[in-house]
Amino acid sequence: MNIHHVIAAAALALGPGIAAAQTDPLDSPRWGDMKKEFLPAAARVVFDERVRVIAPLTAENALNVPVSVDASALPDVKEVLVFADFNPIARIVRFEPGGAQPGLGFRIKLQQSSPVRAAARTGDGSWHVGGTWVNTTGGGCTLPSTGSASPEWQKRLGEVSSRVWPKKEGGERLRLRVIHPEDTGLAAGIPAFYIQQLDLADAAGTPLMHIEGFEKKLPTTPGCSPAAARISASPTAATS
Partner 1 sequence: MLTGRSEDFSFTNGGNIVNTAFIVTQAGVLVIDSGPSRAYGEQLRRAIARITRQPVVRVINTHHHPDHFLGNQAFAPDTLAALPGTIHGIHTEGGSFNDNMYRLAGDWMAGTEPVAPTLPLAAGPLELGGHRLELIALEGHTGADLAILDRSTGVLFAGDLIFHDRAPTTPHARLPAWQASLDTLEAQPFRHLVPGHGPVATDAGPIRQTRAWLGWLDHTLRQAADEGLDMTEALALPLPAEFRRLAVVDAEYRRSVGQLYPALEQQALRTGKARE
Please give the residue ranges that form the binding site for partner 1 (CB under 8 A).
Answer: 5, 7-9, 12, 54-56, 58-61, 64, 66-68, 105, 107, 137-139, 142-144, 161-165, 173, 175, 177
Residues facing 82 on adjacent strands: 93, 118
Of 65 and 121, CB closest to partner 1 = 65
Cα-based distances in Å from 111 to 34, 170, 213: 17, 37, 17
Of 122 and 240, CB closest to partner 1 = 240
In angstroms, what is the minimal distance from the CB of 184 to partner 1? 19
In angstroms, what is the minimal distance from the CB of 188 to partner 1? 17
Of 58 and 154, CB closest to partner 1 = 58
Q: What is the CA radius of gyration of the chain?
A: 17
Of 21 and 135, CB closest to partner 1 = 135
In angstroms, what is the minimal distance from the CB of 64 to partner 1? 7
In angstroms, what is the minimal distance from the CB of 190 to partner 1? 19
Of 103 and 185, CB closest to partner 1 = 103
Read out DSSP for the chain? ---B-----PPPP-------BSS-TT--TTHHHHHHHHS-TTS-EEE-TTSEEE--SB-S-TTSEEEEEE-TTSSSEEEEEEEETTSSS-EEEEEE-TTEESEEEEEE--SSSEEEEEEEEETTS-EEEEEEEEB--SGGGGSPP-GGG-SHHHHHTT-EEEEEEE-TTSSEEEEEEE-B--B-S-STT---B---EEEEE-TT--EEEEEEE-----PPPSS-SS-S---SS----EE-
In angstroms, what is the minimal distance from the CB of 20 to partner 1? 24
In angstroms, what is the minimal distance from the CB of 128 to partner 1? 20
In angstroms, what is the minimal distance from the CB of 4 to partner 1? 10
Of 132 and 220, CB closest to partner 1 = 132
Of 64 and 240, CB closest to partner 1 = 64
The answer to whether 230 touches 182, Cβ cutoff 8 Å, is: yes
